[in-house]
Amino acid sequence: MDMQTENACSTALFDDLKKPGGATPVTVSFGDGIGPEIMAASLRVMFAAGAKLAVESIDVGERVYRAGHTAGITDAAWDSLRRTKVFFKAPITTPQGGGFKSLNVTIRKSLGLFANVRPCVAYAPFVATRHPDMDVVIIRENEEDLYAGIEHQQTQDVVQCLKLITRPGCEKIVRYAFEYARANGRKRVTCFTKDNIMKLTDGLFHRVFEEIAGEYPDIAHDHAIVDIGAARLATAPETFDVIVMPNLYGDILSDVAAELTGSIGLGPSANVGAHGAMFEAIHGSAPQIAGQDIANPSGLLLAGVMMLIHSGQPDAAAAVHNAWLKTIEDGIHTADIFKEGVSRKKVGTRAFAEAIIERLGQQPSSLMPVAYGEIAVPASIPEPSPRRIKAKQLVGIDVFVDSTGSVEELASQLRQDESGLIELVMITNR
Ligand code: NAD
C-alpha cells in the first residue's frame, strides 16, 4: 500500500470510529509533575459526562528522555498516535541540558499539526482579573518561522537561525483562522506581524492575510505591528476577538493572554492538522506542586472539551463545560484562583473534579452557558491553493567570509580579484 492510500484508509477508519455510537480512540499520556493528577481528574469528569473515548495510554516525557530517547517518545507510542490520530497529553518535564529535543515540536511536525488554537477567556467576577471582558482566541502558526530548527555557526563569532515562512503555510493558517471565526460566531480576525522590518517573511504572512480576508466578507479583519499589538493585548485584551500570527509571536503572546485571564492553570490548547490533533493545557508540569492534590485541572479539562468537539461529541463537551462554569460560578476553587471574599470553598484537584461531576446537567446562571453543535470546529482543514510557477531571475548571491584580520586587510584582499566579476561595495557582519 502506498503512503497516500494508507493515509486515506486510516483517515476513513478514524472517521468511522468518530460516528455516534462508536468510542473515539484516543492516545493519552499522563505526563510528569502534576500531569497524572490533572489527567485522572479530567478523564473522570469526561467519562461521568458520557464521553465515549477508547483510551490507549502511552508513556512520554522525562522517564522516556532519561531512558535514552532524545525526543521523549518511543516507537510504541508513535504506533498508537499514528493509529488514533488524537492525542490527549498531560504536561511533561523537559530535562535541562543538551541533546534533548522538544517533544511538542517533534509531534507537531510529525503529525502536521499546523494550527495552535488557544482560547483565553476571563471568568469575572468569579476569577480575579484586571480584564473582566476578555474573550480572545489566539491562533498560532505551529510549524514554520524560527521553529524550523535550522541554525548555523556561520563564523566563530556569528550564529544564525533561519526564519522560514512559506506561502502554503501562511494560506493554511490564515484560512484556518477565518474558518474558525466563522464556525464559532466570531466577528473579527486580527493579524500580528513585524513586516515593517521583516519585509519578505512577515511581509508574505501579512500579504496572504489580506488576500484571504477578501474571501470572508462576513468577518472583519485588521492588522497590527506585533509590538503595539502586543501592548494593546496586554492592556485592553477585550478589544480583540481572534488573532492569527506566526509561530514565535504566537508562542509568547498566547502565554501572556492566558495569564491575563487570572491563572495559567485555566488555559486549554488544541494543535490541529489534516491528519491528527493534540489537546493539552497551556501550562507545564509544575513540579513544585506535584503530588499534593492542589493543581488546577481546568486547562487540561477544557482541552478535553475541545477534543470532544473535535471527536464529534458536542453534547458531552457542552455538559462538561457548563458543569465546570457552574463550579467556578459557585466559588468552588483550587488554590491558584482562590480569593477570600470571592471564592466560597478552597478544594484540591480531586474534590474540584467531584464538584464538577455533581453539577453535570446544570448550567451556569451568571456566566454564559455554552452550546456546541457540529459547527464548532472548522468544517474542513483548508488546503493551500495550487502552486503558481513564476519566472526565476538571479538577482545576487550571498558570500560569507570568515576572517580574523582587520576590515582594511579583508577589503584589500577582496579588491585583488581581477576577474571583473565582483565589485566590493560594502563589508558588514549583519
Ligand atoms: P509551569 O507552567 O509548569 O509553571 C509555572 C507556574 O504556574 C508555577 O508557579 C506553577 O506552580 C503554576 N502552575 C502551572 N500549572 C498550574 C496548575 N494547573 N495549577 C496551579 N498552578 C499551576 O512552567 P515552568 O515551571 O516554566 O515549567 C515546568 C516544566 O514544565 C519544565 O520542565 C517545562 O519544560 C515543562 N513545560 C511543559 C509544557 C508541556 O508539556 N506542554 C509546557 C510548558 C512547560
Centre of ligand 1 to C-alpha 188, Å, is: 31
Residues 6+ apart with CB under 8 A from 427: 407, 410, 411, 414
pLDDT at 229: 97
Other CB atoms within 10 A of residue 374 CB? 10
Whose grid coordinates read 495550487? Answer: 386
Determine if ligand 1 sits within 6 Å of the CB of residue 226: no
Cα–Cα distance measured from residue 140 to residue 345, given in angstroms and rounded to the nearest whole number: 36
Atom of ligand 1 lying closest to residue 289 CA:
11
Determine if ligand 1 sits within 6 Å of the CB of residue 104: yes
State yes or no: cis peptide before 125, omega within 30 of 0. Answer: yes
Side chain identity, residue 406? S
Determine if ligand 1 sits within 6 Å of the CB of residue 93: yes
pLDDT at 22: 72
C-alpha cell at 369: 452557558
Centre of ligand 1 to C-alpha 284, Å, is: 3
Under 8 Å between Cβ of 240 and 51: no
Centre of ligand 1 to C-alpha 30, Å, is: 14
Under 8 Å between Cβ of 429 and 158: yes
Helix (H/G/I), strand (E/B), else coil: 130: coil
Under 8 Å between Cβ of 16 and 54: no
Cα–Cα distance measured from residue 52 to residue 311, given in angstroms and rounded to the nearest whole number: 9
Whose grid coordinates read 465546570? Answer: 324
Under 8 Å between Cβ of 278 and 105: no
Atom of ligand 1 lying closest to residue 297 CA:
18
Centre of ligand 1 to C-alpha 404, Å, is: 44
Ligand 1 test: best mutation among 89, 264, 294, most atoms within 8 Å of CB?
264
pLDDT in tens, the chain (430 residues): 333 333 333 333 334 434 445 799 999 999 999 999 999 999 999 999 999 999 999 999 888 988 888 888 998 999 999 999 999 999 998 887 767 788 888 888 888 899 999 999 999 999 989 999 999 999 999 999 998 778 888 888 889 999 999 999 999 999 999 999 998 899 999 999 999 999 999 999 999 999 999 999 999 999 999 999 999 999 999 999 999 999 999 999 999 999 999 888 899 999 999 889 999 999 999 999 999 999 999 999 999 999 999 999 999 999 999 999 999 999 999 999 999 988 999 999 999 999 999 999 999 999 999 988 755 566 566 777 777 788 888 887 777 778 888 888 888 888 887 777 778 888 876 5
User: For the chain, how far is it from start to end, CA to CA, in angstroms?
Assistant: 50
State how far Cα 344 lies from the chain centre: 33
Residue 320: in which H helix or E strand, if any? helix 314-329
- DSSP at 237: G
Cα–Cα distance measured from residue 43 to residue 166, given in angstroms and rounded to the nearest whole number: 38
Cα–Cα distance measured from residue 325 to residue 368, given in angstroms and rounded to the nearest whole number: 8
Determine if ligand 1 sits within 6 Å of the CB of residue 145: no
State how far Cα 59 lies from the chain centre: 21
Helix (H/G/I), strand (E/B), else coil: 161: strand
Centre of ligand 1 to C-alpha 197, Å, is: 33
Ligand 1 test: best mutation among 88, 283, 334, most atoms within 8 Å of CB?
283
Centre of ligand 1 to C-alpha 285, Å, is: 4
Determine if ligand 1 sits within 6 Å of the CB of residue 258: no
pLDDT at 4: 36
Centre of ligand 1 to C-alpha 93, Å, is: 9
C-alpha cell at 329: 460560578
Centre of ligand 1 to C-alpha 205, Å, is: 31
